[in-house]
């Protein structure tokens, strides 16, 4: 069964994956970027090859999301974490997932005014272009050489779509800002949620503390300078990988984002931002 680590891009998914992969998939709890492979992304093109699906046909890939998850979940008793930026929605009359494959979702949300500046850097866009992307309800996330396309939607659509699991007690909302300023209590909250899903483990606070300490932003930024972090995109101008861990907690929309785009974001997402305490 799958526990989704779902989010709009550039919202803290990598940080949460780093902590969870350090805790669950290492002996000592020490974070290394290579550990992230233990919590990979869905959908990867490789997920469809065993099914004989034409991975260049986006429509056929969308139609086989659940078939691919059935294949992944052959061991129904085994819990697997997967990152995704997909909205929880129907596309080509097919759902992204179903309850036979989904155990729960942890949704990571971030103030969209900071998402847009990080998004612009990561995808080499202007702030105007990045803002328009966040507001676009028809937006797909383009496929790469490894990842298949997903339906992203706008920032608010993506956020609201996953809340549908809340009524089934299969959903927990985590704010990126909490992962930064109160990491330990936020992680304990997540572990308690995992226990309600039937996951059995004795919380090792020593190991958790090591995972938390080793996923400090500056330490991960330093790791990136020493490793080939393949999740960082290539700069089309230089051919080199762009810095993935760019500003982190120092990304302050008040200092970076212009008033025009601030106003567009706050007007479009007023309901959700107020609900989340961002306004």
Helix (H, G, I), strand (E, B) or coil at 212: helix
Predicted pLDDT of residue 129: 95
Predicted pLDDT of residue 141: 85
**CB-based contact 258:127 (threshold 8 Å):** yes
Tell me how far apart the alpha carbons of residues 209 and 205 are, in angstroms, rounded to a whole number: 6
Complete domains list, the chain, with CATH = 2-114+138-228 (3.40.50.300)
Following CA atoms 95, 16, 27, 184 in sequence, which dihedral angle do they give, to the nearest 10 degrees? -130
Helix (H, G, I), strand (E, B) or coil at 5: strand
10-residue mean pLDDT series, the chain (279 residues): 95 91 91 84 91 89 94 83 95 92 96 92 88 94 84 96 90 95 94 92 91 79 63 55 58 87 97 97
Predicted pLDDT of residue 263: 97
According to DSSP, residue 126 is labeled -
Predicted pLDDT of residue 103: 95
């Amino acid at each position: 069964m799958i526990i989704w680590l779902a989010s709009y891009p550039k919202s803290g998914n990598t940080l949460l994956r780093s902590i969870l992969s350090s805790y669950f998939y290492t002996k000592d709890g020490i974070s290394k970027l290579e550990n992230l492979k233990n919590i990979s992304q869905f959908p990867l093109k490789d997920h469809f090859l065993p099914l004989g699906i034409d991975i260049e046909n986006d429509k056929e890939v969308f139609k086989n999301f659940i078939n691919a998850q059935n294949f992944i979940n052959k061991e129904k008793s085994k819990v697997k974490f997967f990152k995704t930026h997909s909205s929880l929605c129907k596309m080509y009359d097919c759902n992204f997932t179903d309850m036979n494959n989904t155990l729960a979702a942890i949704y990571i949300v971030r103030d969209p005014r900071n998402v847009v500046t990080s998004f612009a850097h990561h995808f080499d866009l202007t702030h105007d272009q990045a803002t328009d992307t966040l507001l676009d309800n028809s937006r797909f996330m383009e496929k790469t050489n490894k990842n298949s396309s997903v339906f992203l939607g706008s920032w608010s659509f993506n956020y609201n779509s996953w809340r549908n699991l809340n009524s089934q007690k299969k959903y927990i909302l985590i704010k990126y800002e909490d992962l930064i300023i109160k990491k330990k209590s936020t992680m304990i909250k997540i572990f308690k949620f995992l226990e309600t899903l039937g996951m059995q483990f004795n919380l090792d606070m020593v190991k958790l503390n090591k995972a938390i300490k080793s996923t400090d932003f500056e330490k991960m930024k330093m790791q990136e300078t020493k490793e080939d972090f393949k999740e960082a995109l290539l700069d089309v101008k230089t051919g080199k990988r762009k810095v993935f861990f760019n500003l982190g907690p120092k990304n302050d929309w008040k200092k970076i984002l212009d008033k025009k785009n601030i106003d567009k974001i706050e007007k479009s997402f007023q309901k959700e931002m107020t609900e989340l305490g961002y306004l």
